[in-house]
Structure 1
């Protein structure tokens, strides 16, 4: 096989004997195998080369392998990750699976298990790459490249290639209808209609006639036959938004219609057929509603064939700033206004929690532009008061207020910045802030993220950028020997 086309396998473990043992184990296979002894060097290798599979140790001298999974997943062609560990920690295994690692293998496992895991991971990777080449997703207005949103787009691709019902869940404003439309647009039903039913906006006495249609004279005001939305969705997609609001009295009839794709219009004598694909969305917890007898269990399991859970905007890393920039481009396109966003404004966008998610962000950008007027640059001053107040409180709480009072970075007389240019001074301040943040949190990454308002991947990226090493408490354990 051409060496350039051979799959690449990287081993990240600080025990060189372990690395050499695995390389020898895989030597008879058609793989290129490398190793790195530190997490930093391993990450640099991943982001500078096209690595297919990573065997990643948990306890490394400069970081925790489990905490690095999120960073690795940021790679556009992220490798499949197989965690190897000496302690066999159950919590660690659960975290690895939740982070979508391919496998979690104790180092005491037999040699054939390592080979088997590698072969299976490569088989899966080839299949995934083939499917990605076969069909690229039309994203429409879905903006962002964070790991969580990329996972949702993968789910959109899977849903578009099937006809099973899909339930999209997520907080208000996360884009449930947008993702539903993306499934329809990428499916073989895209040439037919995408029919939206807002269950929360339907008066209870009109739900049946709206869904199933009615015949002339069926009730007062029914002057003619009218097809329902389910019939209008024939050959296309029926999207039930906020299905949790569908009355219990209608749920049984809808379930029957869903199972047989047949229903009877209100006042009608004959069954009507409709070949529709169903997508539902809700911000409510339907499983709890089932327990409370507020939603039918049989309907719940019928619509729950596939679930896409949309993340909150605050969990999507840098996506908020990307969405804001895209919104601004759309607003200024073909307009005489030339409103732009300052870096400080974008930084405030990144810091805020966005409880209203993307919908709140859109409203905020519109308000800021309106407040600034035309031919203006947006500054933090143009943001709504509640956003500015939240961000200021967040900054004062990072790090501990006691430490901040004793040693305020901007009031420290030893650092006047007189001999530094502005950009260099800002870079120095960022470096000092990260050092003091880690010191105050005693190296605890989770605590540092909570105090700084940064996501784990953002923090790691900054630490790499400023070449700041982290030392985790977990790296004090004994390392395995070469016998695994």
Structure 2
């Protein structure tokens, strides 16, 4: 018999106790946690179908905690409950992914009805999601989108949703993360898959011919126009139009393209009759369009139109667990393409791949692997010496710098680290041993500080980048930096 798991996060027992008796009858099991931190621990220990989260708790507020619970397709449905309603708070929690926001008074009976609806919705979503994802993920893997890391899986969840709609998609990410690959994959798993996928490289559009290339031209429209020619927008009719490097689109053309995007009609150069094109738009860029918009280099209204769905591709250094899988994928692809026997990877070869920072991302990884296979010649196994010298030097420097950094730690810090295991073992040697909660809190704070220190080093104090990686709000990140007396380049 299916039992729905419900987690109530509330400092008081009254609410959860009032649901217990009715829950058992309706096939639900209630668990209570007293804080956000305890609630997260519960969710890490087992899967819950619904989380009932009080809006304000001793260790935080629901609007800040929601991203910690809602991380993917299989995360629980989250309902925030409040004793007094706040419109701004309601907007925040719903925007961040809460299933509902309810205000006191809420009777146990009405709450059980709400839980029933949330569970039915979840079951329906789960069935459709699993069926869709099985097909979609298989197709994406066949297109070369490989990896099992949680950060990549979150991207694939967005892809699976976006592909089945006609909504505009903006793909952002560093060079080499695979923006065009993702755009092509989205097209191939969409209802428009049997139509054209038309690529527009905005960075390569010559200024004097840009309108003609996009919208086409009539015969005699300009010198050299010996015949009429359709533009890329018309060629994408019923298919997908991919604007690569959309941040390079000239401002004057942005205004014209906005109208095309809104109405799906355009006028060829020298033409007198408007043409309709029913295309689906995917745009990509490695630039910060929000910053370009603030600087007046990109139209706000166009940016708003582009990012109905926003897919931010992670750099390879943030999903190092995928590197081995990517290496095996490329090895297989290379051997099939060149009709060669697959070479083996030595353990230290794979270790160097994982240690390198990959500023050029997946593209650089594949280029390095191809060069290594070529350099190996008749050797059956790849070793670090087959890698480009620049990569081996960078990894060696990184390892030596890390060792030097540890060696330069103050003596008292090193001493504390050496004493940590002994101190942990002697908790109960003191007259007043700490409670489990106190030990847990100390461990959490120690790891939080260490994580934030490394985060600031990795992002070089960039708050926006730090928020994206840590999934913390700007205000929460500033609070933690202040708590642990850490600094950023912003403050």
TM superposition score normalised by structure 2: 0.68
- C-alpha displacement at 1:71, in angstroms? 9.2
Q: Which has the higher contact order (CA 8 A, sep 6+)?
A: 1
Task: Please give the per-residue CA displacement for 1:256-315, whole angstroms capped at 9, x wherever unaligned.
Answer: 322332222223333233221111111222233233222223322332333222222233
- Write the distance in 2 (CA, Å) between the matches of 1:229 and 1:366: 34
**C-alpha distance in 2 between matches for 1:186 and 1:66:** 34
- Residues 81-120 of structure 1 show CA distances to partners (whole Å, capped at 9, x for unaligned) of 668999xxxxxx99999996768999x9966596577445
| CA–CA distance in structure 1, aligned partners of residues 187 and 394 of structure 2 | 37
- Aligned residue among 385, 399, 407 for 2:393: 385
Which secondary structure state, in structure 2, belongs to the residue aligned with residue 401 of structure 1? coil
Q: Which residue number corresponds to residue 289 of structure 1?
A: 292
Name the structure 2 match of 1:128. 125
Aligned length: 426
**Unaligned 5+ runs, structure 2:** 84-89, 418-439, 459-465, 467-482, 484-491
Mapped pair 1:145 → 2:142: no
Structure 1 Cα separation of the partners of residues 45 and 443 of structure 2: 29
After superposition, the Cα gap between the structure-2 partners of 1:406 and 1:188, relative to the gap in structure 1 and judged at 3 Å, is closer
Alignment partner, residue 430 of structure 2: none
| C-alpha distance in structure 1 between counterparts of 2:113 and 2:57, whole Å | 23
Q: Which of 366, 383, 391 is equivalent to 1:362? A: 366
Cα 1:401–1:369 shift into 2, 3 Å: farther
Q: What displacement does 1:372 show?
A: 4.0
Match of residue 167 from structure 1: 170
Q: CA deviation at 1:348?
A: 3.7
Over 3 Å counting, the alpha-carbon distance change for 1:402 and 1:187 in structure 2 is same
Change (3 A) 1:324 1:336: closer
Distance, in Å, in 1 between the alignment partners of 2:451 and 2:245 is: 34
Q: Report which stretch shifted further, 176-185 or 22-31.
A: 22-31
Contact residue 369 and residue 378 of structure 1 kept, 8 A: no
Seen in structure 2, the aligned counterparts of structure 1 residues 350 and 122 have a Cα distance that, compared at 3 Å, is: farther
How far apart are residue 67 of structure 1 and its match?
12
Change in CA separation of 1:149 and 1:44 when aligned onto 2, cut-off 3 Å:
closer
Query: Deviation per CA, 1:106-161, whole angstroms, max 9, x where unpaired?
Result: 9x996659657744542442242143145232313211233332222222222222
C-alpha displacement at 1:195, in angstroms? 0.4
Corresponding residue SS for 2:209: helix
The SS at the match of 2:224 is coil
Q: Is the 8 A contact 1:9 1:52 kept in 2?
A: yes
Whether the 8 Å CA contact 2:8–2:16 is kept in 1: the answer is yes
Q: Deviations over 1:425-455 (max 9, x none)?
A: xxxxxxxxxxxxx9x9995223333567899
Greater helix proportion: 2
Q: Is the 8 A contact 2:173 2:286 kept in 1?
A: yes
1:331–1:205 CA distance, 2 compared to 1 (3 A): same
Q: Tell me, yes or no, if structure 1 residue 349 matches structure 2 residue 353.
A: yes
Which runs of 5 or more residues in structure 1 are unaligned?
87-92, 410-437, 456-473, 475-484
Aligned to 1:376: 381
> Are 2:46 and 1:46 equivalent residues in the alignment?
yes
What root-mean-square deviation, in Å, do the aligned CA atoms of Structure 1 and Structure 2 show? 5.0
Alignment partner, residue 425 of structure 2 = none
Question: Could you tell me how far 1:229 is from its partner in structure 2?
Answer: 0.9
> After superposition, where does 1:310-459 map in structure 2 within 5 Å?
310-316=313-319, 318-333=321-336, 334-342=339-347, 344-373=348-377, 374-379=379-384, 382=387, 383-394=391-402, 396-397=404-405, 401-402=409-410, 444-449=446-451
